[in-house]
Each structure stands twice: as C-alpha cells, then as structure tokens.
Amino acid sequence: MYDNVSDIGSFAGAVLEEVETEDKRLARYALSGKGKGASSRALEDTDAAFFCKDGVPRRLGIMGGTFDPIHLGHLNCAERAMEALGLDGVLFIPAGDPAFKQDRDIASTEARLAMCELAVADNPSFCVSDIEIRRHGITYTVDTLERLRAAYGADVEFVFIIGTDSLLTLSDWKDASRLASLANFACVSRPGYEVDPVIVNGLCEAGFHIEFVKAPMFDISSSEVRALCKAGSSIRYLVPYAIRVFIAQHGLYGDERGEGRPTIGFEGSGTEWMY
Ligand code: ATP
Ligand code: MG
C-alpha cells in the first residue's frame, strides 16, 4: 500500500485532479447545451423512455420545486427517496410560475431549468422535465400529475417526493383529494421541520398515502443560497460545482456590494467568477 505520507499525498493529488477534470467536463458538457436535453423533448416521448428498465418503469419518483436555485438538499432528498423506496429514477420538474411564490421575484424559468439540467447531468437516474415551464400561468401539481399520468399510462406508480415543510402544507394544495389519487407521496426529513402526527392523520383520512424517508439531513434552502449570493458570500458545498459556475456566469441573485471574489477560473472559458 502506501509507505509514507508523501505517497498518500500524491495519491490524493491524482484523485483530486481526476475529480476536478470530471467536474469541469460535466459542467462544460451541460453548459454547452449538449446535456440530457429532456427539456427539448415533447411530453409525449417524455422521459418515459429514459426510465425504462426492461421496457417499463414501475415506480417513478417525481420532485417538484421552484429550484431557485437547485441545491444539494434537493439532490440528497431525491437520492435518499430513490434508494429507500426502490424508485427507478427521479424526474425533477421545475415550476413555471409557482403557486406559492407569488410574492417575490424568481430567476427566469430558463435559468432554473438550465440549473436543474446541470445538477442532474452526472446522475443517470435523474432527469428533468420542462412540462410545467412550458405552461403559462400558475402551475399546480395536480394538473402536472394528470398530464404525466396520460403520458405514462396507468401502470406506472408515481411517488411524489417532498420535504417535511411541504408535507405541512399539502392539504392546502389545489384539489387535494384528486392529488391524493394521482400519486403516492414520499416525505423526506428536512432540518427545522417536525412531522406533525395530527397533520399526517388528517392527510391519511383525506386519502393521501405517505411513506416517510429518514435520511441524513442537509440544512440547505434556496433562500439561504440566494441570501449568501446577495451578501457576496460563498455557496461552495451547498450547490454542485456547475451551479456555482452558472450563477456566477449569469450574475444571478446579485451581489449587493457589486464586487466579485474571483477565486476560481474555468480553464479556457476566459471567465472568472466568485462564489
Ligand atoms: P426556498 O427557500 O426558495 O423555498 P427550498 O430550498 O425550500 O427553496 P423548493 O424549491 O421550495 O426549495 O423545494 C422543493 C422541494 O424540495 C420541497 O418539497 C422541499 O420540501 C424540498 N426540499 C428543499 N430543500 C430540502 C432539504 N434541504 N431537505 C429536504 N427537502 C428539501
Ligand atoms: Mg421551499
């Protein structure tokens, strides 16, 4: 094995180089628009093919959100639910005009969609759908699930993945009883939010079928990521590398001080960015 510290050091150096190259390759690939490109496909050939193992996906995870921006908490949530519940894959669906976020400006649909695509580029079990983004006006989960059901057919089980904070508001979502009949729900623990048994009982009585996934929790929110960007602070280790690059390149979530912290360069891109 390794005889001394310097051997370990050079081994670590080699691994690091490989990881960096792979990260940058993925980021370049996704930024060049040659990623999975789910968003450029029509709904009819939606992502059904993408998840077909032996022809037909059986349990499909669906994760809706504003993803403004997508962060490691979202990705961890999807990965844990997929593993715990034996899902064939997870479809990320960024909201076009989210019903619950009418009170603040959100990043453009294109930017949020692009960040989702970047974030899933290295995971063959994750895919992004632009089904909500291509619709105009406020998007509701119940309508999206109806359309997905029509596209996927009756035999595919939908598992809609949410964090505990969303569970607490689920009964207020549009057409709750119809919603309950269209998908099962997976609730993944989220720091700062307790599962309230009274609420869970109410949801079960209303017809919801909920599975709980206990997972290592990531105390990350998009609000926090945006606030950090605004303050000119680092978002390293909160979002994937490619998302940091994207945010910096597009000047999203404005640094209030108007000054950058050029710390890393994307070789060959001629760009320097902060975060
Ligand atoms: P914001 O702060 O803008 O509300 P957010 O981080 O809550 O953003 P959303 O896009 O609102 O992200 O959430 C989409 C889904 O992801 C929701 O079901 C939410 O519960 C879940 N989620 C988000 N962050 C986490 C996390 N850190 N752990 C578990 N679930 C999460
Ligand atoms: Mg939220």
Tokens encoding 191: 């720091």
Among residues of the chain, what percentage have pLDDT more than 70? 69
Centre of ligand 1 from the C-alpha of residue 213, in Å: 15
Ligand nearest to the CA of residue 224, numbered in listed order: 1
- In the chain the first and final C-alpha atoms are separated, in Å, by 37
Query: Identity (one letter) of the amino acid at 214?
Result: K
Average pLDDT, the chain: 81
Nearest to 226 by CA among 101, 117, 70, 93: 70
- For 61, list phi and psi in degrees, rounded to 5: -80, 140
| 98 in contact with ligand 1, CB cutoff 6 A | no
Nearest to 174 by CA among 104, 99, 106, 102: 99
Statement: residue 272 has pLDDT above 70: no
Ligand 1 atom 2: residue of nearest CA: 223
How far is it, in rounded angstroms, from Cα 159 to Cα 187?
Answer: 10
pLDDT at 97: 72
Centre of ligand 2 from the C-alpha of residue 31, in Å: 26
If DSSP codes are grouped into helix, strand and coil, which group holds residue 11? helix
pLDDT at 24: 58
The one-character DSSP state at 156 is S
How far is it, in rounded angstroms, from Cα 130 to Cα 150?
Answer: 16
Q: What is the pLDDT of residues 117-170, one digit of tens each?
A: 999 998 988 989 888 988 877 889 999 999 998 888 888 899 999 999 999 999
Statement: residue 38 has pLDDT above 70: no
Of all helices (H) and strands (E), which one includes residue 118? helix 109-120
If DSSP codes are grouped into helix, strand and coil, which group holds residue 114? helix
Centre of ligand 2 from the C-alpha of residue 36, in Å: 26
| 67 in contact with ligand 1, CB cutoff 6 A | yes
Q: Which residues pair with 239 in a beta bridge?
A: 236
Q: What is the pLDDT of residues 101-117, one digit of tens each?
A: 656 678 888 899 999 99
Q: Per-residue pLDDT averaged across 195-208, rounded?
A: 96
Tokens encoding 160: 């809609």
Contact between residue 253 and residue 229 where contact means Cβ atoms under 8 Å apart: yes
Atom of ligand 1 nearest to the CA of 166: 20
Atom of ligand 1 nearest to the CA of 220: 27
Q: Name the pTM for this structure.
A: 0.82
Centre of ligand 2 from the C-alpha of residue 60, in Å: 22
Centre of ligand 1 from the C-alpha of residue 170, in Å: 14
Nearest to 89 by CA among 114, 112, 62: 62
How far is it, in rounded angstroms, from Cα 150 to Cα 216?
Answer: 35
| 185 in contact with ligand 1, CB cutoff 6 A | no
